[in-house]
Every structure is written in C-alpha cells, then in structure tokens.
Amino acid sequence: MSETRERVWEKKLKLEKERIEKNYTIEMGKLEVGKQRWEFERDKMKMEHELKLKEMELRQSNNMSQ
C-alpha cells in the first residue's frame, strides 16, 4: 500500500515539475515577445523622428532656393 502511495506521490511531483517548466517556458516567451515589441516601437519612433527631420530640412532648402 505504501509503495502505491509513493508512486502516486512521485507521479504528482513529476507532473508538478513539468507544469512549472511549461509555465516558465510560456512566461519567457511572453517576455521575449514584449521585448521585441518594445524594440520595434522604439525603432519605429526613431525612424519617424528622422523622417520628420528630413522633411523639415527639405522644406527649408526649398524655401531658401526660391
């Protein structure tokens, strides 16, 4: 009887360990996606800023040449 309980306990521990490992993998994946999204938004804002500066430079050079 105690062997059966021991096997059940071992299986329960094994399943709990697997659950924790899967949750860890999922959470790390979510963090990676969040990091990539943040980097994308940062790069997008940087490029938008550079584009606005170039547009301003172009307008100024067009105004000076008139």
Identify which has the larger pLDDT, 61 or 21. Answer: 21
Q: What is the pTM of this model?
A: 0.65
CA distance 15 to 4: 16
Number of domains composing the chain: 1
- Domain hosting 15: range is 1-66
Concatenate the DSSP letters of all residues of the chain into one string.
-HHHHHHHHHHHHHHHHHHHHHHHHHHHHHHHHHHHHHHHHHHHHHHHHHHHHHHHHHHHHHHHH-
Q: Which pLDDT tens digit goes with each residue over 8-55? A: 999 999 999 999 999 999 999 999 999 999 999 999 999 999 999 999
